[in-house]
C-alpha cells in the first residue's frame, strides 16, 4: 500500500451511522469524506438497488471490492465503507494491512433497535427487503465477527450522531498521542 491512506475508516452494519458520523468527523477534521457506496454508484451509473436487480449481488460485490481497494490507496480523508464490504476476504486483508501500517478502522457498533429505527423501511437497501428488522438482525449477526476482525477500535453507535462522532474523534486523538513513555514507547 502507498503512503497515502485515509485518516480513518468506518465500518459497521446498515444503520450504524457510517455516512452521517463520517460526515461529522470529516467536517471536524476539515477533511473530505468518501463513501464507497457512492463510489460504486458512480462507477455503475445507477443506484445500488438497481445494481442488485439488474446485475446481481456478485456484480455489486465486485464493484465494492474495487472501490475499497482504490479508496484505501488514494483517499486521505474519512472513508465510510458499505456495510457488507467486510465480507470479502481480500477487503479484510487490505484493511489489516492498513491497520498494520498505523491506520484506524473504527467499528461503529450499533444495537438492533437503533439500527432498525435508522434504516426503517428503506427500499433502497436490497438486502433488507421483506422484513427489514429480521433481515437486519440476520445481517448483523452474520457480519459481527468480521467487523471485530478488521476493527482497531470499537465505538458504541446507539447515541446521537454528534456524540458518536465525538467518541470517534476521541479515539483518534488517543491513538495519535499514543504512549509517550515507558516500555510501550520504546523508552
pTM reported for the whole predicted model:
0.85
Q: What is the structure's pLDDT at 152?
A: 96
pLDDT tens, 4-29? 589 999 999 887 889 899 999 999 99
Mean pLDDT in residue range 40-54:
91
Residue 179's DSSP bridge partners are none
Q: Average pLDDT, whole number, for the chain?
A: 84
Q: Give residues with Cβ within 8 angstroms of 14, minimum separation 6.
A: 83, 115, 119, 125, 127, 128, 136, 139
pLDDT band at 119 (very low <50, low <70, confident <90, very high): low
Q: Give residues with Cβ within 8 angstroms of 155, minimum separation 6.
A: 106, 107, 108, 109, 164, 167, 168, 171
Cell digits of residue 107 = 467499528
Strands 33-35 and 78-80, by their bridges, are parallel
CA atoms within 13 A on the CB side of 103: 29
Q: Give residues with Cβ within 8 angstroms of 24, minimum separation 6.
A: 161, 162, 165
Mean pLDDT in residue range 129-151:
78
Amino acid at each position: 500500500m502507498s503512503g497515502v491512506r485515509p485518516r480513518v475508516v468506518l465500518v459497521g452494519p446498515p444503520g450504524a451511522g457510517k455516512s452521517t458520523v463520517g460526515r461529522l468527523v470529516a467536517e471536524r477534521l476539515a477533511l473530505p469524506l468518501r463513501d464507497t457506496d457512492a463510489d460504486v454508484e458512480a462507477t455503475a451509473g445507477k443506484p445500488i438497488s438497481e445494481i442488485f436487480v439488474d446485475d446481481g449481488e456478485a456484480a455489486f460485490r465486485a464493484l465494492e471490492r474495487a472501490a475499497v481497494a482504490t479508496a484505501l490507496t488514494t483517499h486521505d480523508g474519512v472513508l465510510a465503507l458499505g456495510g457488507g464490504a467486510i465480507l470479502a476476504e481480500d477487503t479484510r486483508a487490505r484493511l489489516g494491512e492498513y491497520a498494520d501500517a498505523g491506520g484506524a478502522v473504527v467499528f461503529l457498533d450499533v444495537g438492533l433497535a437503533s439500527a432498525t429505527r435508522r434504516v426503517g423501511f428503506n427500499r433502497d437497501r436490497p438486502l433488507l427487503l421483506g422484513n427489514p428488522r429480521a433481515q437486519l438482525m440476520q445481517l448483523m449477526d452474520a457480519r459481527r465477527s468480521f467487523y471485530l476482525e478488521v476493527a482497531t477500535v470499537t465505538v458504541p453507535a446507539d447515541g446521537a450522531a454528534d456524540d458518536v462522532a465525538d467518541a470517534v474523534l476521541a479515539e483518534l486523538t488517543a491513538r495519535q498521542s499514543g504512549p509517550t513513555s515507558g516500555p510501550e514507547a520504546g523508552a
